Structure 1
């Protein structure tokens, strides 16, 4: 009889651990399976393209005209990249010069207008094949500030009320944004109490 009680007690304990483990596993799965809204690259490209060309003055000497970027997804670093064509013209130059540069940036969600915006911009080197190297160097000195002025907070996507209505009804709000191979994935997280 003592063996039977010991067997029943150990079985009940094991069942309890299994139930607790199952509940923890279910909770972990729920945390991993937050609902998400995906924005494909084509849709991002269309929205950002509508915001260009942009003109950026450089110290009254010349103007840089930024053309629409060609976006690319960088899921390994959770960022977006963009190759951009740029034209330089103005009083300091005899003619217009075409060049290019590359940027990478992270995204942030702005709750006030439900937008995904570029931030934490990293600028690659400006390249102008027809400009004198000294002028190109001067432009590269100003380039990070110019990129921040002209590209920071560029809206890449705006969530419409109908995009989030179901989530709003469930007490969820947009949370972390992740760059995936399919586009941007906006996770929905519980609203603070």
Structure 2
């Protein structure tokens, strides 16, 4: 017979595991996506200048490097714009000239639109364990002799939390003609640190590029 004293630990472990599973969903959603209807007749991404519009140079560098690394996994030649244009607020002509000089046929520009906060109430939760007891009827093979005593294992206090959602837009242009090839808007809930937020945003855009057949 199992030792009932060990059951509360097991129950807490299961509860923790379920919480981990609940947090495995995507934190990003593409709310709008557009692709040039003639894009299917063109080749997908080959050489791309990655441009991140940010208020701080270090943020720009971190974003551009991460996005470039993510696309490079698909054998796309990528160059972060900060390696070619140090100016924090480069003009369109500067970006086009840099892309042409580096032999890049596309320019990918990503910028922040805004954010919103939503207050979420999480009611308290009680986790119960069950301690079996055995009576004479159980020994005679009857169900009536088996019953359980429920006891409280853990209690989570009700809390309020704030979901902060960031809206980011990304646009893809052809270098030579400046045609607008693709655009996507991502809403991303911050669920972790800044690095996770960054990765979630980039992943949502990469997934949409794949969905639109611009990325193999």
TM-score bucket of the superposed structures, by smaller chain: 0.3 to 0.5
Scaled by the length of structure 2, what TM-score is found? 0.31
* More contact order relative to length (CA 8 Å, sep ≥ 6): 2
